[in-house]
Amino acid sequence: MSIPAKKAVPQIRVLSDDLANQIAAGEVVERPASVVKELVENSIDAGATLIRLDIEGGGKKKIRIMDNGMGMAPEECLLAFSRHATSKISRFEDLESIQSLGFRGEALPSIASVAKVRCTSARSESEGGKLIVVEGGELVEQKDVACPRGTTLEVAQLFYVTPARSKFLKGDSTEFSHITQVITQQALANPHIQFHLTHNGREVINTLPTDQLHYRIAELFGPDLAKSLLEVEAQSGDYHLSGFVSSPVYTRSSRNAQYCFINGRFVRDKVILHATQQGYSHLLPKGQHPAMFLYLMMDPKLLDVNVHPSKAEVRFAFQQDVHQFVAHGVRAALEKNQQVDLTARDETDIPLQEPSQSYSPRPSYQPPQWTSPPPVQGDLSQALRTMLRPDSESTQQVTWFDKAPTPVSNLIYSEFEPLGQLDRSFIIMQGKQGVLVVDQHVAHERILYERFRSAAKNRKVEVQKLLFPLPIELSPEETEVLTPHLTRLLDLGLELELFGKNEFLLRSVPAILKNGDHEKLLRETIESLPKDAHEDVLNEKYEDVLIMMSCRNAIKVNHTLNLDQIRKLIFDLEQTSMPYTCPHGRPISLLFDMDDILKKFLRK
For the domain 17-206, what is the CATH code? Answer: 3.30.565.10
Q: Is a pLDDT exceeding 80 seen at residue 177?
A: yes
Residue 22 carries which side chain, given as an amino acid letter?
Answer: Q
Specify the pLDDT at position 271.
87
* Bridge-based pairing state of the strands 315-316 and 292-298: unpaired
Q: Where are the domains of the chain?
A: 17-206, 213-337, 367-604
Residue in 179, 180, 181, 169 with CA at minimum distance from that of residue 30: 169
Q: Is a pLDDT exceeding 70 seen at residue 399?
A: no
| Residue 4 near residue 146 (C-beta atoms within 8 A) | no
User: Looking at per-residue confidence, does 252 or 40 come out higher?
Assistant: 40
Cross-sheet strand order for the sheet of 503-510: 463-473, 503-510, 495-498
Rounded CA-CA distance 273/256 in Å is 12
Specify the pLDDT at position 531.
64
Q: Is a pLDDT exceeding 70 seen at residue 330?
A: yes
Q: Where are any strands of DSSP class E within 12-156? A: 50-56, 62-67, 116-122, 129-135, 138-145, 150-156
435 φ, ψ (degrees, to nearest 5) = -110, 130
* Mean of the per-residue pLDDT values of the chain: 77
pLDDT, one tens digit per residue, over 61-84 is 999 999 999 988 888 888 887 765
Q: Which fold has domain 367-604?
A: formyl-coa transferase, domain 3 (3.30.1540)
Specify the pLDDT at position 386.
44
14 Cβ contact list (under 8 Å, min separation 6): none
Residue 482 carries which side chain, given as an amino acid letter?
Answer: L
Rounded CA-CA distance 114/135 in Å is 8
Rounded CA-CA distance 190/233 in Å is 18
Average pLDDT over residues 149-165: 88
User: Looking at per-residue confidence, does 462 or 400 come out higher?
Assistant: 462
Burial (Cβ within 10 Å: 0-12, 13-18, ≥19) of residue 393: exposed
Q: Is a pLDDT exceeding 70 seen at residue 192?
A: yes
For the domain 213-337, what is the CATH code? Answer: 3.30.230.10
* Bridge-based pairing state of the strands 417-422 and 406-407: unpaired
User: Looking at per-residue confidence, does 156 or 250 come out higher?
Assistant: 156
| Residue 143 near residue 132 (C-beta atoms within 8 A) | no
